[in-house]
Amino acid sequence: MNIQMVVQKRILKFVLCSNQVLFVLAVCAGMMFKPAGFTMGIVCGGLIAIVNFHLLYKTLRKSLTPPHLASIRTVLVKYYIRFAATAAIIAVLISGNIVNPLGLLVGLSVVVTSIMLATFRELTILIFKEAF
């Protein structure tokens, strides 16, 4: 296994773990606020983002590992179906006043934050490795 694969697996493992940790921290922080809609927004947004990330990972893994059974068209169709379903779920949650939109935004940003943390972590590993 080459070094690039090791780095990719390390990043993926970090993102998957930090998704869960950030989700739990965000929900706990949301519980400190009085409105239940805010906490419900964090829960729903976090679950939507994490499930979407896992489905994207599963789709890409199946299409990029040999034998390449899935075509690019299949991957794009799955992506757009997932995108439309996510948009519909978010529209129902907001229009039905089920969740607080700000809480939903916080929950949806869990995966983005995890990816940014993984990027900063890898950059610091790279910088400190070159420094020594």
How does DSSP assign 28-81, residue by residue?
A: HHHHTSS-HHHHHHHHHHHHHHHHHHHHHHHHHHHHHSSS--S-HHHHHHHHHH
Burial class (CB in 10 A: 0-12, 13-18, 19+), 109: middle
Which stretch, 7-11, 80-84, 124-128, has highest mean pLDDT?
80-84
Q: How many domains does the chain have?
A: 1
Q: Give mean pLDDT, residues 102-112.
A: 95
| Dist. CA 113–CA 49, nearest whole Å | 11
In a domain, 87, yes or no: yes
The residue ranking higher by pLDDT, 53 or 67, is: 53
In a domain, 19, yes or no: yes
In a domain, 1, yes or no: no
**Whole-structure pTM value:** 0.87
Residue 95 lies in domain: 10-131
Position 61 pLDDT exceeds 90 = no
9-57 confidence digits (pLDDT tens): 999 999 999 999 999 999 999 998 778 889 999 999 999 999 999 999 9
Cβ-contact 29, 109 below 8 angstroms:
no
In a domain, 2, yes or no: no
In a domain, 38, yes or no: yes
In a domain, 3, yes or no: no
In a domain, 4, yes or no: no
In a domain, 5, yes or no: no
